[in-house]
Amino acid sequence: MTITASIQSAVPEITVEDRAARLTDAGNAWAERIDANRSNAHLNYAVEGIGAGSVATTVRAGKHSFVVDEPAVLAGDDIGSSPVEYALGALVGCQVVVYRLYAQQLGIPFDDIVIRAEADLDAARLFGADESVRAGFSEVRLDIEISGPETNERYDELREAVDAHCPVLDIFQNPTPVKTTVIRA
């Protein structure tokens, strides 16, 4: 498994035992909240993007911010990942979280996990050259690499649980209603 050192150094180190405790504690706390009042499970997320540069966007999400841009071939300055790369990154990130959560919950340990996402997009629709093709991805492929002591059957059981419970995978697999309002400033 290969993870670049620069990415790893930005993320705090945690022991397997501490991760297990955090996952168990979070799962128990959420179960209590939801049991006490089902509406406690309803979360709301909001981000704001402000156009910058050629086609870049500075995005604020809670206390975090990041830049979304395009490569030069798509009129960008290539100062950040593209919107579709962030979408794939969101899917990969959510998958890692849910793999860890359900591994802990189901007692299916693993040592390391690397998830790779690859997708195909036909830019003809984006540029108005072919309205018959989909504007978004035509296919997304996830490769999950897990190392650990369990059998392939147990890791298949884990994958099935993750597939059934991953919120971002659900967004990719199922239509989500989107309401758009344009407000003139």
**CB-based burial label for 115 (10 Å; 0-12, 13-18, 19+):** middle
- Predicted local distance difference test score (pLDDT) of residue 10: 82
What tokens does 51 get?
A: 């156009």
Q: Domains in the chain, please, with CATH?
A: 46-80 (no CATH), 81-174 (3.30.300.20)
Averaged over 114-133, what is the pLDDT?
96
Cα distance between residue 130 and residue 125, in whole Å: 5
Between the alpha carbon of residue 55 and those of residues 59, 70, 79, 80, 87, the distances in Å are: 13, 7, 10, 11, 17
117 pLDDT more than 70: yes
| Tens of pLDDT, residues 65-82 | 999 999 999 999 999 999
pLDDT tens for each residue of 154-175: 999 999 999 999 999 999 999 9
User: pLDDT band for position 9 (50/70/90)?
Assistant: low
Q: How far is Cα 103 from Cα 96, in angstroms, rounded to an integer? A: 10
Q: Is residue 24 predicted with pLDDT exceeding 70?
A: yes
Q: What is the pLDDT of residue 2?
A: 46
CA distances from 24 to 100, 101, 103, 113, 158 (A): 10, 8, 11, 19, 16
